[in-house]
A and B are shown apart, each in its own frame.
Chain A
Amino acid sequence: MMNKRLKEKAGFGALAVLTFLAVVPVLAIIGYLVWQGWPALTWEFLTQPPRKFLTEGGIYPAIIGTLALTVGTIMVAMPLGIGTAIYLVEYAGENVFNKLIRIAIINLAGVPSVVYGLFGMGMFVLTLGLGRSLAAGALTLGILTLPIIISTAEEALLAVPDNYRYASLALGATKWQTVRRVVLPVALPAILTGTILGIGRAAGETAPIMFTAAVVYTPRLPDSIYDQVMALPYHLYAISTEVPNVSQHMAFGAALVLLAIVGAMNLVAVVIRTRMRLKRLR
């Protein structure tokens, strides 16, 4: 009996140690990034374009480029993603077309981001002639994000109790009136949470934009959707590998800003979700 207890203690103890060993160093490294990057975050760094082959100055055009790409991604992915989810949850019955849609979404979710980059280049940059541009990058990132948005929006719609739908229909509302006035408002916070999480993922992607939108250096801010842009993830890649003589603290600074932008999006999503939970409790 003693032996059994000892074995149990040892087994679970080992797992606790494993968890600790896996999580703590990773958190420590991220802490190190914050510690190293913090001094670089001056006003100049955040509001000026880079100078002297990216070795001095700031990252302002890269921040703006990433924000512009993010807005574009939302405009592509959100209507398509939410529309698809509405169809799957509210309208679709069980037939071959719907099964095909589900299979397609699952497979799209598994396509590596660099393959999306290849596709975006072949399709938007070359075939459609958009060139290396904000538009091509946003379309590529939008497609990449689509499966995440569809699946979270679907979950949000499924979470709306059927009683709401029946009540609305019983009052004489049509299907569409029910979806628009009853189901969507209830599901909206959860849909937004999922969308923001998906967009946050897209904002940090590098491979899909490196052949479709981003350039190593341009001091100009984008005027139109046909302009090429600097983008933070690609900037971080470039200064830490390809561009010579960039000081460590500039790179840590860029990494920290990227992490902060992605982290801020995640935070917004979590805040919306928490408020939603509290509301439900009330």
Chain B
Amino acid sequence: METRLSNYYEKGIKYFFGLIAGTSILLLFLIFSLLFREGLGVFSNVGVMDFILGTRWLPVSETPFFGALPMIIGSIIVTLGAGMLAIPAGIGIAVYLAEVAPRSVREVAKAVIELLAGIPSVVYGFLGLTVLAPVIKDLLNLPSALTAFTAALVLAIMALPTVVSISEDALDAVPRDYREASLALGATKWETTVKIVLPSARSGLMAASMLGLGRAIGETMAVLMVAGNAMIIPHSIFDPVRTITASIAAEMGETVQGGLHYQALFGLGVVLFTITFVINLITDLIFTRTSSVKRGTSL
């Protein structure tokens, strides 16, 4: 009798934890459905194509326009710019740390990278605004340094810890035998690194790059503060831009619940959610193809 009772008790506990774990599924579903519910109005009122490809964003004018293309392009330019800086630099640093750096340098560098990853994005934005932008302005002789270039630079610094730490894990996961076999055949360490280690770690390095890009495209405060926030399609990387994230953050305070502007910002949320979802999916495919690198959710 008693054992049966405790059996029920044990079962109950199992279901209790199952219920808690199920919250994650519920939350993802709620985020997805709430964004769509609130954003649906703008897609039906403006039209999906006009919303995504429209070039004018005048949410509060007499006849409002809701064309998100300048922001979508802004987000893409800033993200790709950040990726072009952070991915080669991050992989290069990871190679140095994993293959050549002495143990002490490696330990210190890891601690520093962890520290940099923990700095809030608003602090990066503040430093970009007050320290970096004036320097860039003088250096490149620009009228204002609040441009896509500065935003990409700040985002690259922010994405660097992600790229470095995941790339390093990928390089660590390459079996030592590969290196030793190559060295035994007379290759130098450099040749081994370039021709053996890097190709073996390829998919892990790709995943690191994707996660870095994912981090950059979702970043809000830093780009809001340094990208210049001009609602135009930029002609060069030295033009001010406004990203999807920055628009949501900057305009949400002024909207009325249920109004078209409010719906349009949730519509932007849907676009952003979809982009990051796809990036995640690609990363995930890369990760499942190689189980050599464990997927972390934190960095």
Contact = CB atoms under 8 A, between A and B. Distances in A.
A123 B276 contact: no
Of A175, A241, A266, most B-chain CB atoms within 10 Å: A241
Contacts of B119: 30, 204, 259, 262
A240 interface: yes
A77 to B, nearest CB: 11
Interface string A147-177: 1101110000000000000000000001110
A19 B109 contact: yes
The dominant DSSP class at the A interface is helix
Q: How many interface residues does chain A have, given as a range?
A: 35 or more
A197 interface: yes
Given A80-B23, A112-B245, A240-B225, A206 B273 contact: no
Contact of A107 (B21, B37, B123, B280): B280
The dominant DSSP class at the B interface is helix
B1 interface: no
Contact of B276 (A22, A112, A234): A112
B125 A237 contact: yes
Contact of A23 (B30, B92, B112, B217): B112
Contacts of B101: 16, 19
B257 A255 contact: no
Interface in A224-257: 233-234, 236-237, 240-241, 248, 251-252, 255
A182 interface: no
B269 A108 contact: no
Contacts of A251: 126, 130
B34 A240 contact: no
Contact of B21 (A83, A119, A203): A83
11 contacts: A19-B97, A91-B17, A92-B18, A101-B21, A101-B22, A104-B25, A107-B277, A116-B31, A204-B118, A205-B120, A240-B125
Of all A-B residue pairs in the complex, the 10 with the closest CB atoms, nearest first, are A204-B120, A112-B218, A83-B20, A8-B190, A87-B17, A109-B297, A15-B96, A87-B21, A110-B280, A207-B220
